[in-house]
Structure 1
Amino acid sequence: MNFRFQNLLGAPYRGGNVVVSEDSLLSPVGNRVSVTDLVKSHTLTLPFEATSNISRIAVSPDGNFLLTVDDSSRALYVNLRRRAVLHHITFKKRVTALRFSSDGSLIAVGLGKLLQIWRSPGFRKEFFPFKLVRTFSDCAAAITSLDWSPESDYILVGSKDLAVRLFFLKKTKVRTRPFLFLGHREPVVGVFFSINKKTSRVCRIYTISRDGAIFTWKLDESSNSDDNSGGSILDPPERRNSEGESQENDKVIDNESDKVIGDRKRKRETLIDVDGDTLGIPLHEMKWELSKKDFFMQAPARLTTCDYHRELDMVVVGFSSGVFGLYQMPDFVCIHLLSISREKITTAVFNRLGNWLTFGCAKLGQLLVWEWRSESYILKQQGHYFDVNCVAYSPDSQMLATGADDSKVKVWTVSSGFCFITFSEHTNAVTAVKFMANNHCLLSASLDGTVRAWDLFRYRNFRTFTTPSPRQFVSLAVDQSGEIICAGTTDSFEIFVWSTKTGRLLDVLSGHQGPVHGLMFSPTNAILASSSWDKTVRLWDVFEGKGAVETFQHNHDVLTVVYRPDGKQIACSTLDGQIVFWDPLDGILMYTIEGRRDITGGRLMTDRRSAANSTSGKYFTTLCYSADGSYILAGGSSKYICMYDVADQVMLRRFQITRNLSLDGVLDFLNSKRMTDAGPLDLIDDENSDVDVGVDQQRRGNLGQGLPGSVNNLGRPIIRTKCLKISPTGRSWAAATTEGVVIYSIDESFMFDPTDLDIDVTPEAVDSALSESQHQRALLLSLRLNEDSLIRICIFFCEDIRYTSHCFIHTSEIFAETDGSVF
């Protein structure tokens, strides 16, 4: 019962911006954030959830804090080291840009036309952790990009009004206006400060617009804002004696003018050094000039994303055609211009050193990390295009296979969370996957009328099982010896039997009068159990050829059937929300679990009745026994997965797989204030074309073309569980949901990690720390070594019993080893 969320597979990226912090890549996945360690090749999903899909993320310069903002403008401030949410705040408008300052003390937030500067919270708990410092309302349209100066005194803002503004953050007695950079013909996508490597001062500004133009702005060293005040004082007055003025007055005026001009020249010489950098005049008061205009020349494609690396002075840009370019500035030299996708690149960022480029494509759920110097991939991951239909664990629980509506079969490594092979030979939705007992072969069934066998050594399709006439397969089973493969159909209501070695069709089992959606061999003998929508469960003797040897009648359609691991019990779910248990040996009904109230989920936006009164979705579509057969997991068209005790027929626990309000069926009660004459306000598509198109929007666009995907009538994804599988070890289970493959485990993620060791962590180092009375350091070293004897020694050497009790409270494992005898 102690299963906890561990990871989310099947979708490495779903839209928004990605951030590279040190050697970790952070990417939004629905309402969660996935963290990929690019050095150790390991990915995990942070345990917290946002209220809706995350649209913007930002990481502090020191890598300790993460700020996420979702579609409902709710922000979470997270401690990345501990993976815990510290603070939260809800902004009043939609957040379009987000960035930490260079020193990490401030946060710039673009809220439509407003630019707000907030104080960055710290580790300590505060009643008002977020403090608004300043608000700028100079922009005439929504803000699209932000960049901080190295000293965090200035901020560069680009917006959809085709202008770029340079703001000065320090408050002055007189209100200062931002400096305007004009000239772009389309909305600005990126703005960046460029620094002089010798003096570390701002020397150039780059502005990039959506039409593929990049402008380079430089300081005008010949004049500044003081010179623009007027020419009456700087210019010598004309000597006119027509009005009877004396020559002495003219000489006095000339001397005063020469003095003023000399003072201004000396001031300019002191404020501008030999490299042309300003030393005293604020940047927004200096005169900037357009140095050059360059164009990427990728029309008709639009520039969708860009990033800049200050140390290397390089710019990377991505286009709607799937092409990206890498350019050396300020000379605008093209280093790479390549195509990585056929869809729009939605994010492109540098890592800290600038040797890796990260690209994301929200429409395909694709995430790439490319080393541009060696022209090699560091990471290449792509999720399923549509919903995952089925999952299967390998016999050793190390691999996980998934099949989806996008006609692809993917195999994932459970420990790392990476997909290492994708099979795309199927031409229609994959409905079932199954590992063979030898762990080296994978089977998949599809609606294209084929069952394919995949070699996990050579990564190829070595055998294809077909029927004389095309059929649509929705269920799959293989016996323990691996010699017989069976598949159930949805159109002819038959079960086809093949030989694995020869690939020949051996038999066709007829008798069902509805689609055969459940199929499973007994773990102890060659009896095959099948469930159908004709309200029956049938047992077949495949090897003897006797046909159906037993039939179990039900009052409603049977949706799925599973065997208990010992083969002495079968469980099936019916359309009336019941789980029925049968004894397959004696053919008697054992007991029934009523699960209609347990599986009841949230109310859909289009439902006319509340979730409690609605009859839709109150049944289980997938079942799975535990490894010992003591409990059973059940899921369906709901946000819940129920765990039942088989012997007592009681529910032990109910897991809520998501709290994402961007999905339909999560809320139990709808807000009547959100209802309009045109329908629910959340379903009215009033977004403009500039919003990034993610997986959910792609499903909405394909809805009219009849393509697959679990969406309601108005295109809003519906939360549901299509398949449940428990690992053979019983330590974890996986569920194919609308958001991806959710994995729950009882193994702690902070257990002993061998990668936590280094050359200095040795038993000798523990003895040395004890001899120097460094008890805390000695205890930490012994815990990292995970040696029982060293842990005991460190506890006994603690001189202060209060310190020992403090260690005991924070290290429950020590108490388990010593049984509390020390205290």
Structure 2
Amino acid sequence: MAFSSNGQRIVTGSQDKRAKVWDAVTGTNLLTFSGHTNRVWAVAFSPDGQRIVSGGWDQTARVWDAANGNELRTLVGHRRAVLSVAFSPDGQSVVTGSQDHQVKVWNATNGAVLHTLRGHGASVFSVGFSPDGKWIISGSGDQTARVWDAASGEELRAFKGHGSQIGSVALSPDGQWIVTGGGAVRFSPDGRSVVANIEDDPTAKVWDTGGGMEVLTLEGHTGAVSSVDVSADGRLVVSGSFDGTARVWDVRSRREVQRVSGLGAPIRAVAFLPDGKRFVTGSFDRTASIWDIASGTELHKLEGHTAEIFSVAVSPDGRRMATGSWDHTVRVWDAATGRHSHTFSGHGAKVYPVAFASDSRRIVSADILGVGKVWEASSGKELVTFRDTKLLWSAAFSRDGRRIVTGTHGLTATVWDAASGKEQLTLKGHTEHIHAAVFSPDGRRIVTGSADQTAKLWDAATGEELLTFKGHSDWVFSVAFSPDGQRIVTGSGDHTIKVWEAASKEQVAKWQEEDRAATAVEQAPANPR
């Protein structure tokens, strides 16, 4: 059943092989369309109300004159029943979904097939166009909804998360949101409300068309993934885990390419060196190690801390490394030789995060009492102290070095002035404490990871929450941006690493399905660490 755009007429399809048009006010039958040779399953009006399209179990769709009931065109091409139909906003095209798992786009005037969209693995129960006609959305028995480029037929993205078939899909009037459900779903005309029939499937999901999609999961760890980092060229991800291993993953092949194991203690922190050939680990056995990626050989062991190492950082110029420890100190090391150069002893409690500024000249650290400090990296001189009321789990500089973001044992992340230590901004939205927070490479966004099992993307200037990334089943311990800022990597207590889109819908539309995970973190210069 479908209404005309002015709400005055209704069209219905029936098992009697016919479609009928009714007066929406009086219920009077205005027209009957006969021509299908089996039940009529789907119907829709054109935007101007002058035509109707119907889909039937006879494997055809038919276009009718809504004024006189004449059949204008038969659309032949599907190999099984046509279950869903829709006109484009300009009325020039028709899209159909079928039991043959395909979506087809047709010229509404001459009946020519413009595109056949392949990708679903089951019947396509619902189809529609975006308000601007640039996208097509489809929902299927394969439990996915998919977005396609209407001009090229290219699949842009797939939304996964339902536990049963998707019987209906709808786009908000502004094209920003998609709602999917097992039963009928619709947005209100102003886009502020969703109506869903949940009789068959108790879930309806709303998706952001502009981002927040999970594109890659790396599995293999048997313990919580405590730390992740992205190489400078974006090709590799390194992960450290409480299972006592560190693993290096090739994003293009989606495979583990190196594993460091047998360390005898949980690994709490990892970081790449800028050359992309080495990485460093920090462990609960009180040591840090520098590793060769190609061979898996330990190049240097950094010893000196008297308690567990919680964090490691590498200076962007590749000359120094810093470690933060529960022995209340920060130690600085020569990255080439592994030799200890300085110890910063200003904290009066366990040190959790450490990070370098992009100029490699300053280090920020924070402790369990909520005290943060900025140090001169070359001398250990204490430059600035700032204080929170909660334990500071994480701290990171912005690319320009003017701001610091911290994640707390409370429900907020805080942005500080790096020169004065004054609080500038508070990010509120998580429902559990925040384990990780970093700036995007351009400094315009912040990503946070939380014990509420989500990561969130924020506007770094206003504190506005932009996106929430849901998919992990345990705490999100670590977060990182790809070098170009278009992808986010998260590590979780559920033993997985996930890669997510962080870009706008315009950028998303340029990525092809087969290349999406492969290019997930591949671009140019690295995040400051």
TMscore range, shorter length: 0.5 to 0.7
Return the letter of the residue paired with 2:409. Answer: L
Following the alignment from structure 2 to structure 1, what is the Cα–Cα distance between the partners of residues 276 and 497? 21
Residue 397 of structure 2 corresponds to residue 563 of structure 1: yes
In 2, Cα distance between the equivalents of 1:128 and 1:523?
Answer: 54
- Provide the residue aligned with 2:497 in structure 1: 741
1:727 Cα deviation (Å)? 0.8
The 5 A counterparts of 1:491-530 are 492-530=327-365
Match of 1:578 in 2: 412
Match of 1:434 among 271, 274, 290: 271
TM-superposition CA deviations, 1:773-808 (whole Å, max 9, x none): xxxxxxxxxxxxxxxxxxxxxxxxxxxxxxxxxxxx
1:669-726 Cα shifts (integer Å, max 9, x gaps)? xxxxxxxxxxxxxxxxxxxxxxxxxxxxxxxxxxxxxxxxxxxxxxxxxx21100100
Residues 553, 383 of structure 1: alpha-carbon distance in 2 compared, 3 angstrom cutoff:
same
Deviation, 1:750, is 8.0
Could you tell me which residue of structure 1 aligns to residue 430 of structure 2? 599
Correspondence 1:161-310 to 2 at 5 A: none
> What is the deviation of 1:556?
2.6
**Corresponding residue of 2:310:** 474
Give the residue type in structure 1 aligned to 2:425.
T
Check the 8 A contact 1:76/1:87 in 2, yes or no.
Answer: no
> Residue by residue, what CA displacement relative to the aligned partner does 1:372-396 show, whole Å, maximum 9, x if unpaired?
xxxxxxxxx9700111111000001
Contact persistence 1:65–1:80 (CA under 8 A): no
Aligned to 1:632: 446
Aligned to 2:321: 485
Residue matched to 1:449: 286
In 2, the alpha carbon distance for the partners of 1:460 and 1:588 equals 41
The unaligned stretches of length 5 or more in structure 2 are 1-118, 124-139, 147-154, 167-198, 202-217, 516-529
Give the % identical residues: 20
Query: Which residue matches 2:299?
Result: 462
The CA RMSD over aligned residues, in Å, is 3.3
Following the alignment from structure 2 to structure 1, what is the Cα–Cα distance between the partners of residues 254 and 450? 25
Match of 2:479 in 1: 724
2:291, 2:246 → 1: CA distance?
10
In 2: Cα distance, 1:442 partner to 1:551 partner: 30
Alignment of 1:10-409 (within 5 A): 65=121, 77-78=142-143, 88=164, 383-409=220-246
Aligned to 1:161: none
Q: Helix, strand or coil for the counterpart of 2:337?
A: coil
Is contact 2:384–2:421 with CA below 8 Å preserved after alignment?
A: no
Q: Secondary structure at the match of 1:419?
A: strand
| 2:490 maps to amino acid | A
Counterpart mapping for 1:598-747 below 5 A: 598-600=429-431, 617=432, 619-658=433-472, 719-739=474-494, 740-745=496-501, 746=503
Distance 1:591 1:77, change over 3 A: same
User: Which residue identity is paired with 1:482?
Assistant: G
Judge conservation of contact 2:395–2:406 (CA < 8 Å) in 1.
yes
What is the rounded CA distance, in whole Å, between the counterparts of 2:357 and 2:306 in structure 1? 28
> Quick one: which amino acid aligns to residue 643 of structure 1?
L
* 1:543 alignment counterpart: 378
Matches within 5 A, 1:753-792: none
Q: Residues 751 and 427 from structure 1, CA distance in 2 versus in 1: closer, same or farther, beyond 3 angstroms? A: same
Label 1:420 to 1:551 Cα distance change in 2 as closer, same or farther (>3 A). Answer: same
Q: Is the 8 A contact 2:480 2:488 kept in 1?
A: yes
Q: 2:260 aligns with which of 396, 406, 423?
A: 423
> Alpha-carbon deviation of 1:470?
4.3
Question: Which runs of 5 or more residues in structure 1 are unaligned?
Answer: 1-62, 68-74, 91-126, 130-380, 601-616, 664-718, 756-823
Bigger-Rg structure (1/2): 1
1:89 & 1:753 partners in 2: Cα distance?
22
The amino acid across from 1:654 in the alignment is T
What secondary structure is seen at the aligned counterpart in 2 of 1:459?
coil
SS, match of residue 422 in structure 2 = strand
Rounded to whole Å, the distance in 1 between the matches of 2:122 and 2:298 is: 43
> Residues of 2 paired with 1:564 and 1:409: CA distance?
27
After TM superposition, the score normalised by the length of structure 2 is: 0.55
**Letter of the structure 2 residue corresponding to residue 486 of structure 1:** A
1:629 aligned counterpart, secondary structure: coil
SS in 2 for 1:88: coil
CA distance in 1, matches of 2:491, 2:163: 31
What TM-score results when the alignment is normalised by the length of structure 1? 0.36
**One-letter amino acid matched to 1:733:** I
Change (3 A) 1:750 1:65: farther
User: Aligned partners of 1:79, 1:553: CA distance in 2, in Å?
Assistant: 47
The CA distance in 2 between the partners of 1:582 and 1:389, in whole Å, is 25
CA contact (8 A) 1:407 1:424 kept: yes
Task: Determine if contact 1:66/1:79 at 8 Å carries over to the other structure.
Answer: no
- Asked if the contact 1:519/1:531 (under 8 Å) is kept, the reply is yes
**What amino acid does structure 1 have at the position aligned with 2:422?**
L
Q: Structure 1 residues 538, 128: CA separation in 2 closer, same or farther (over 3 Å shift)?
A: closer
Task: Output the CA distance in 2 between the equivalents of 1:87 and 1:430.
Answer: 35
Tell me the amino acid that sits aligned with residue 477 of structure 1: A
Contact 1:391 1:403 in 2 (8 A): yes
* Residue deviations 1:406-432 (CA, integer Å, cap 9, x gap): 110101111221111111142111111
Residues 636-687 of structure 1: CA deviation (Å, up to 9, x unaligned): 11033222212112222222235xxxx5xxxxxxxxxxxxxxxxxxxxxxxx
Query: Aligned pair in 2 of structure 1 residues 455, 551: CA closer, same or farther (>3 Å)?
Result: same
| CA drift at 1:477 | 1.3
Distance in 2 of aligned mates of 1:643 and 1:523: 21
Greater fraction helix:
1
> What is the alpha-carbon distance in structure 2 between the residues aligned to residue 444 and residue 636 of structure 1?
22
Aligned length: 318
